């Protein structure tokens, strides 16, 4: 028996030795020898138990990387004719998964000689075995004969096509004796989702081994978690970082947080001069309303002075002349005032206001700007530094804001069929106040005001005059 044949025989008896001896981190360290104890336990079960496996872990707990290690180990040690499928939510996630597999192969001389890398596929010609990464496309999943299926980020699999894709993969396991399924995910909120329905079944099924982890990764620092806790909605933090299925749904703000904004002792102000005011304008001419929110800073936070709404319709659009007239009057009544608006549909309006001597800031409504205004709004609400008189539409819109995970971050928007005109105007004015008048600078992670790197929902926020923004 050759030395390599002897090693293969030993690895098949103890697959974790293969993970330790062959798989490498980018810096050359052994992947298997650097695992946390809970990681090692999960990998050993996935490689040796002969059952379907469910991994439920918080964000940042190496789900995709560990699953790639399992899939690659099965590819090498599983024998002839292995057909392994790594199923990801979409093309972007599939690219990330294949990058993990590709990295393991290229960092090992042994694997680089054995494994041929194609487009989202790893091939071992000597054993006629393949490992294929798929995006969740149901049309491509029928007729497969898998030895192992890895399903990544199942909580993000929503809709008819994703469900059909999952069930086609699951039903195909019966074609190959001993075929197994490994499911990886972080807790979600939707109790009607595919992930929740499957989860409820597998916990009671003897054919499955269920693993749920709380926050336990040695590489995630308490300092980072505290930053996340301060910034994220409380139920989002519990879901992403404590791996708890929450009851709050996709709400961006809870009912209690929104209720605390509205002070029954406040009334709209007709005028309030002598302190800087900020007027946020969200312009909607037909289907959406045009909304303006006036606010100012005082000790302890921001106070809303006035809210104005112009409701248009396809047959009776909002007249910009009436909006312009009101803004000119408000700039006097609440002097000194700065108007913040999105230049789309309002270039001419902005120029006319400037010509009239008003201070106008144009804020292009890019995804990055939208993130900033809503994350700043969240901070104000959670720290109870925002007060407003009772306003039914604003309250309804704030309660109707929801978040979705998109591009590795959190996208805040109104629910289908809803509106956010007043919420956006409020958030625009509040960010202008935070950047120019209030509050004092927050300390970024390195202890220097306005410098450093923050991560929120997986997305980096750099610089920013006031801490993470």
Domains in the chain, CATH or no CATH each:
3-220 (3.40.50.300), 255-438 (3.30.420.240)
The predicted pLDDT at position 203 comes to 92
Cα(118)–Cα(78) distance, integer angstroms: 20
Cα(220)–Cα(82) distance, integer angstroms: 35
Cis peptide before 439 (omega within 30 of 0): yes
The predicted pLDDT at position 404 comes to 66
Residue 346: phi and psi, rounded to 5, are -135, 20
Enter the tokens of residue 139: 């049309």
- For the chain, which residues score pLDDT lower than 50? 408, 438-469
Helix (H) / strand (E) element for 406: namely strand 401-406
The predicted pLDDT at position 467 comes to 27
The predicted pLDDT at position 366 comes to 83
The predicted pLDDT at position 406 comes to 56
The predicted pLDDT at position 312 comes to 73
The answer to whether 182 and 148 are in contact (CB under 8 A) is: yes
Identify any residues that bridge with 367 across adjacent strands, giving them in sequence order.
Answer: none
E strands present in 186-276: 208-212
Express each pLDDT in 332-346 by its tens digit. Answer: 999 999 999 988 878
Of 204, 188, 193, nearest to 249 by C-alpha is: 188
- Burial of 136-170, coded b for 16+ CB within 10 Å and e otherwise, reads bebeebeebebbbbbbbbbbbbbeeebbbbbebbb
The predicted pLDDT at position 441 comes to 37
The predicted pLDDT at position 451 comes to 29
The predicted pLDDT at position 141 comes to 66
The predicted pLDDT at position 438 comes to 43
The predicted pLDDT at position 137 comes to 63
């Amino acid at each position: 028996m050759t030395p390599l044949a002897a090693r293969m025989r030993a690895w098949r008896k103890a697959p974790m030795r293969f993970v330790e001896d062959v798989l490498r981190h980018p810096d050359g360290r052994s992947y298997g020898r650097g695992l946390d104890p809970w990681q090692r336990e999960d990998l050993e079960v996935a490689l040796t138990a002969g059952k379907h496996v469910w991994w439920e872990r918080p964000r940042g707990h190496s789900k995709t990387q560990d699953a790639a290690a399992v899939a690659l180990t099965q590819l090498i040690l599983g024998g002839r004719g292995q057909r392994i499928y790594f199923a990801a939510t979409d093309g972007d996630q599939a690219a990330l998964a294949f990058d993990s597999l590709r990295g393991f192969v290229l960092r090992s001389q042994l694997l680089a000689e054995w494994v041929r890398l194609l487009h989202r596929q790893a091939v071992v010609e000597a054993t006629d075995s393949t490992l294929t990464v798929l995006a969740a496309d149901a049309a491509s999943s029928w007729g497969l004969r898998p030895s192992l299926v890895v399903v990544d980020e199942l909580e993000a699999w929503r809709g008819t096509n994703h469900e059909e894709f999952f069930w086609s993969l699951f039903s195909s396991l019966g074609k190959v004796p001993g075929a197994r399924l490994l499911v990886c995910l972080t807790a979600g909120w939707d109790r009607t989702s595919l992930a929740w329905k499957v989860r409820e079944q597998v916990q009671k099924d003897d054919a499955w081994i269920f693993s749920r982890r709380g926050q336990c990764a040695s590489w995630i620092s308490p300092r980072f978690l505290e930053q996340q806790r301060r910034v994220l909605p409380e139920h989002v933090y519990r879901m992403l970082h404590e791996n708890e299925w929450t009851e709050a749904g996709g709400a961006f703000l809870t009912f209690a947080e929104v209720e605390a904004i509205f002070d029954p002792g406040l009334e709209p102000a007709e005028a309030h001069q002598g302190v800087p005011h900020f007027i946020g304008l969200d312009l909607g001419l037909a289907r959406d309303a045009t909304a303006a929110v006036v606010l100012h800073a005082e000790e302890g936070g921001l106070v809303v002075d006035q809210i104005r709404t112009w409701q248009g319709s396809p047959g009776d659009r909002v007249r910009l002349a009436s909006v312009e007239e009101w803004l000119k009057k408000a700039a006097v009544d609440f002097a000194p005032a700065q108007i913040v608006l999105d230049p789309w549909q309002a270039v001419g309006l902005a120029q006319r206001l400037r010509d009239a001597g008003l201070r106008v800031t144009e804020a292009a409504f890019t995804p990055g700007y939208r993130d900033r205004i809503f994350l700043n709004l969240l901070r104000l609400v959670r720290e109870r530094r925002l007060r407003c008189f009772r306003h039914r539409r604003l309250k309804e819109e704030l309660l109707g804001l929801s978040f979705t995970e998109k591009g590795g971050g959190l996208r805040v928007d109104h629910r289908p069929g809803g509106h956010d005109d007043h919420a956006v105007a409020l958030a625009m004015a509040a960010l202008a106040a935070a950047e120019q008048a209030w509050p004092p600078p927050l300390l970024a992670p390195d202890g220097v005001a306005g410098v450093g790197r923050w991560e929120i929902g997986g997305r980096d926020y750099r610089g920013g005059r006031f801490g993470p923004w």
